[in-house]
Amino acid sequence: MKVLVTGGAGFIGSHLVDGLIQAGDQAVVVDDLSSGSLRYLNRSAKFYQMDIGSPELKDLFEIEKPESVVHLAAQISVTRSVQDPLYDARVNILGSLNLISNCVNHKIAKVVYASSCAIYGLPQNCPLDENHEINPLSPYGVSKHTVEHYLATRYHLNGLSYVVLRYANVYGPRQNPFGEGGVVAIFSQQMLSGKQPTIFGRGDKTRDYVYVSDVVRANMLALKSKVTGIFNVSTGLETPDQTIFDLVKKECRYQGQPVYAPERPGEIKRIFLSFQKAEKALNWKPQVTLKDGIARAVAFYREEPLNP
């Protein structure tokens, strides 16, 4: 199967491309390299440096004739989405619409779309399932959810089969430790370089952390599945910031303590997601424990330190 992967030079995308090629599939990558890097892109992949909103995307579809698409490319900064919602919408909504239109026109068999738990907003109950109220707190969450609606519309109007995967907090090797997300990567880089990490609040804010190889497996199962729909990709476990710090500290052999700073305004106190729907429909569930995943991530940053 030939799969077009948008954002395929990014953190999750490069791992997915590796998985596809190892499975015997062909991978065509579209990435504008605004946040991705060719450093980890599999050499067996066909690469196009291109914005997903580009008119030239049509030519790529005509040349490569992909059978399926995994759409990972996005503006991923919540902060930037608040500061510049027009840019966020231009990339995440208009860029996605350009991609979806090409998928319809070229009769793509399946689109797998990377959405986010950011669409849910403040949890009314935990673990959240896919029927939870949608009330995003940032333009980023709005844009990610908007594309879900466009996919559903194209399914009903044109028969475009799709799977939406709503990711919890993804972590693992190759994640950029210099952005606003990815606390495992941030703590790892800081501790290994002798810097004192900061925990915002008392360390009791919780998140759901899912390892990147489990996310890759969810995408590959979705590609080969005949189902259409929306699925959380998560562990169903909530982990406090303090626990993340302690696990990373142990792996890094760091001797210090964190700085505790005031909570950042607007942050959600606790969230974790149910993956039961994905388990039933996609035969997927997480396999990598948080302890093992953090050990793998720290080992990566120790061997391949990144520069901002």
Question: What does the block give as tokens for 140?
Answer: 């980023």
Between the alpha carbon of residue 136 and those of residues 41, 65, 166, 195, the distances in Å are 32, 35, 13, 33
Task: Please tell me the predicted confidence (pLDDT) of residue 268.
Answer: 87
Task: Please tell me the predicted confidence (pLDDT) of residue 263.
Answer: 87
Question: What does the block give as tokens for 82?
Answer: 């608040």
Contacts of 66 (CB under 8 A, 6+ apart): 2, 3, 4, 28, 106, 108
Q: What is the mean pLDDT of the chain?
A: 95
Q: Which of 5, 62, 68, 55 is nearest to 31 (CA)?
A: 5
Question: What does the block give as tokens for 261?
Answer: 């700073």
List the chain domain ranges.
2-169+210-233, 171-208+237-303
AA identity, residue 139 = P
Preceding amide of 66 cis, omega within 30:
no
Q: What is the mean pLDDT of residues 210-237?
A: 97
Is the pLDDT assigned to residue 306 strictly greater than 70? no
Contact 216, 273 (CB under 8 A): no
Residues 108 and 52: their CA atoms lie apart, in Å, by 16
Confidence of residue 267 (pLDDT cuts 50, 70, 90): confident
pTM metric for this prediction: 0.95
Q: Which residues are part of the catalytic machinery?
A: 140
Report, at the CATH architecture level, how domain 2-169+210-233 is classified.
3-Layer(aba) Sandwich (3.40)
Residue 290: count of CB within 10 angstroms of its CB: 19
Residue 226: count of CB within 10 angstroms of its CB: 7
For 135-185, what is each residue's pLDDT tens digit?
999 999 999 999 999 999 999 999 999 999 999 999 999 998 876 568 999
For 180-206, what is each residue's pLDDT tens digit?
568 999 999 999 999 999 999 999 999
Contact 234, 295 (CB under 8 A): no
C-alpha 80: how far from chain center: 17
Angle (nearest 5°) at CA 91 between 87 and 94: 110
Is the pLDDT assigned to residue 19 strictly greater than 60? yes
Contacts of 131 (CB under 8 A, 6+ apart): none
Residues 41 and 256: their CA atoms lie apart, in Å, by 35
CATH class of the domain at 171-208+237-303: alpha beta
Residues 104 and 90: their CA atoms lie apart, in Å, by 20
Question: What does the block give as tokens for 93?
Answer: 């909504």
For 230-253, what is each residue's pLDDT tens digit?
999 999 999 999 999 999 999 999
Residues 20 and 25: their CA atoms lie apart, in Å, by 5
Residues 129 and 119: their CA atoms lie apart, in Å, by 12
Question: What does the block give as tokens for 260?
Answer: 């505790």
Q: Transcribe 97-152 into DSSP letters.
A: HHHHHHHHHTT-SEEEEEEEGGGS-S-SSSSB-TTSPP--SSHHHHHHHHHHHHHH
Instruction: Enter the DSSP assignment of 38.
Output: G
Is the pLDDT assigned to residue 265 strictly greater than 90? no
Residue 237: count of CB within 10 angstroms of its CB: 17
